[in-house]
Amino acid sequence: MDRKHIGLIYAGGTVGMAMTAQGYAPMPGFSAALAALLTSYGDALPDYTLHAYPAPIDSANATPKDWQTIARDIAARYQDYDGFVVLHGTDTMAYTAAALSFMLQGLRKPVIVTGSQIPLSAARSDAPQNLAAALQLAASDAINEVTIYFNGLLLRGNRATKTSTERMAAFDSPNYPPLAEVGIQTRLNMPALLPRAAAERFALPDYGTPLILPLRFVPGLPAAALRAMFDLDPAAVVLQCYGAGNAPDRDPALLDMLARANERGTVVVACSQAMHGQVAIGTYAAGAGMTAAGVIGARDMTFEAVFAKLHHLLALGLAPDALRAEFLRDLSGELSV
C-alpha cells in the first residue's frame, strides 16, 4: 500500500517561535528543526511536504483574510495530498478551524489544525506529540472534515473553543464529543465523525471586511452602549446573552433598537455566555421580546463558529432574510439538528 502524503501548512503560531529579548518571535531555521524532528520518527509518520508562509503570523493578528488564504491554499493543492495539517497559533485557532469548515464543505479527506502551547525549540514542548499525532490522523480515511488536534483529543473544528492558556489541554468541545482520543491506541469515535460526502462543495468567496460586532450583556449595561453599536450600521451583531438566550427586557428602548436594526437589514444573533447547552430564545419571558424583534438564536454553536459563519454567509452575498435562514441550517456539523 502506498504511503500517504500530507500537505503540511505552516501559517504561524507558538509552535514555530523562540524566546527573544522582546518575547516570543518566529524562530530562524524552523523548517530545518521541524524536518529533523519528523525524520526521527521514521516510518511511523506519513510522508509530508512543508508549505511555510514567508511571514508567519501570531494568531492574535489573524484576520478573516488569513482564513481565506489558508482555505484557498488547501483547495489549490487538494488533489496533490491525501490530507492536510495546518500549524497555527492557539489564540484564534478555533476561529480559523470554524471558517475553514464553512469554506471547505464536503471535504473527502482530513484537515487537521494543530499547534502547541510551548515552542518546538523549548524544553517540555508539546509540539512533537501534537505534530506527530496530527500527521498520523491526517492519513486516516475515516476523517473527512476540518478538525483541531490538541493534547490527545481530536475535536470538530467548528465545535472547539480555547479553554486554557496554561494547560496542555488547551481546547474543549463543549457541545459535541471528541472525534478521537489518542493515547496508547488511537480510538476514533466513528458515530461522531461526519460521513464521507458524495462530492466536495467548496465555497471560497472574497471575505471582504463586513462589520460584525459582538456585545456581551452584563448587569446594568446601558441601552446607550447598544445604540452606539447600531449607529455604526453593522452587517451583523452577536449578542452574548445570559443562560438560554436571555437579555434584560425592562427597558423597551433596547427591544425597539433590536427591531429597528432587524428592519434595516442587520442580522442579530443571540448566543449564550454559558459554554454548555443550547440557546432557546423565549424559554423565559425575559427573552421573548427578542424573538418578536427578529433576533435569531445560535442554538448550540460556539461563539467562534457563529462569528465565522456570519462572515462566510455575508461573503456569499446573501440577503438578510436568506442569511438568517441559512444561518440556522447545519452546514458542516457546527450545530445539532
Residue 253: its H or E element: helix 252-264
Tell me how far apart the 2 most distant CA atoms of the chain are, in Å.
67
Mean pLDDT in residue range 98-120: 97
Q: Which of 1-5, 184-188, 232-236 has the lowest mean pLDDT?
A: 1-5
Which triple of cell numbers denotes residue 193? 465523525
Confidence of residue 78 (pLDDT cuts 50, 70, 90): very high
Domains located in the chain, CATH noted? 5-202 (3.40.50.1170), 212-327 (3.40.50.40)
Looking at residue 287, its pLDDT comes to 66
Residue type for 33, please? A
Percent of the chain with pLDDT over 70: 98
Residue 296: its H or E element: strand 296-297
Confidence of residue 312 (pLDDT cuts 50, 70, 90): very high
Question: The pTM is what?
Answer: 0.95
Residue 305: its H or E element: helix 303-315
pLDDT digits (tens, 9 = 90+) for 244-281: 888 877 778 888 999 999 999 999 999 999 999 999 88
Which triple of cell numbers denotes residue 250? 425592562
* Closest alpha carbon to 99 in 197, 11, 28: 11
Looking at residue 298, its pLDDT comes to 96
Task: Kindly list the catalytic residues.
Answer: 14
Q: Quote the Cα angle for 313-149-8, to 5°.
A: 80
Looking at residue 84, its pLDDT comes to 98
